[in-house]
Structure 1
Amino acid sequence: MENIVLVSHGQMAAGVKATLEMIVGKQDHVYVVSLKPDGDDRQFEADLQAEMKTLNGSTLIIADLLGGTPCNVSLRNYLEDDQVAILAGMSLPLVIEATLNTQATPAELVKAAKGAVADVKVEMSATTEEVVETTAAAPATDDLAQYQAYAGKANIVNVRIDERLIHGQVAGIWSTSLNTQRIIVINDEAAKDPLQKSSLRMAAPSSMRLSVLTVAEAAKNVQAGKYGAQRIFLLFKNPTDVLRYLEAGGELTTVNVGNMSYKEGTREVTKSIQVTEAEEAVFEDIAKRQIKITAQRVPNDPVVDFMEKLRS
Structure 2
Amino acid sequence: MVGIVIASHGDFAKGIKQSGSMIFGEQKNVEAVSFMPNEGPEDLRKHLEDAIASFDEDSRKEVLFLIDLWGGSPFNQSNAIFEEHQDTMAIVTGLNLPMLIEAYASRLTAKTSHEIAAHILGEAKAGVRIKPESLTPKNNSNNTNENSEQPAPKPAPAPVKVDPSAFKDRNSFEIGLARLDSRLLHGQVATAWAKSIKPTRIIVVSDAVAHNDLRKSLITEAAPSGIKANVIPINKLIEIAKDSRFVGQRFLLLFETPQDVVKAVDGGVKIPELNIGSMAHSEGKTMINNVLSVDENDVEALKHLSDNGVKFDVRKVPADSDKDLFALIIKAGLNV
TM range (shorter): 0.7 to 0.9
The offset of 1:11, in angstroms, is 0.9
Alpha-carbon distance between aligned partners in 2 of 1:42 and 1:275, rounded to the nearest angstrom: 53
Among 254, 274, 286, the residue aligned to 2:293:
274
- TM-score, structure 1 normalization: 0.87
Alpha-carbon distance between aligned partners in 2 of 1:188 and 1:213, rounded to the nearest angstrom: 7
The offset of 1:226, in angstroms, is 3.7
Q: Does 1:251 align with 2:270?
A: yes
Residue in 2 aligned with 1:217? 236
Q: Does 1:300 align with 2:319?
A: yes
The answer to whether the 8 Å contact 1:150/1:224 transfers is no
Matched ranges for 1:1-312 at <5 A: 2-55=2-55, 56-81=60-85, 82-102=87-107, 103=110, 104-122=115-133, 148=164, 151=167, 152-153=170-171, 154-312=173-331
Number of residues paired by the alignment? 292
> What code does the residue aligned with 1:64 have?
D
Alpha-carbon distance between aligned partners in 2 of 1:38 and 1:147, rounded to the nearest angstrom: 72
The answer to whether the 8 Å contact 1:150/1:229 transfers is no
After superposition, what is the alpha-carbon deviation per residue over 1:135-192, rounded to whole angstroms, capped at 9, x for unaligned? xxxxxxxxxx966286334311211001111111111011221121121110112222
The offset of 1:107, in angstroms, is 2.8
The offset of 1:210, in angstroms, is 2.8
The offset of 1:112, in angstroms, is 0.7
The answer to whether the 8 Å contact 1:223/1:251 transfers is no
> What code does the residue aligned with 1:75 have?
N
Alpha-carbon distance between aligned partners in 1 of 2:133 and 2:238, rounded to the nearest angstrom: 33
The offset of 1:116, in angstroms, is 0.7
Alpha-carbon distance between aligned partners in 1 of 2:26 and 2:207, rounded to the nearest angstrom: 35
User: What is the percent sequence identity of the aligned residues?
Assistant: 30
Q: Secondary structure at the match of 1:33?
A: strand
- TM-score, structure 2 normalization: 0.81
Uncovered stretches (5+) of structure 1, i.e. residues with no partner: 124-144
Q: Secondary structure at the match of 2:48?
A: helix
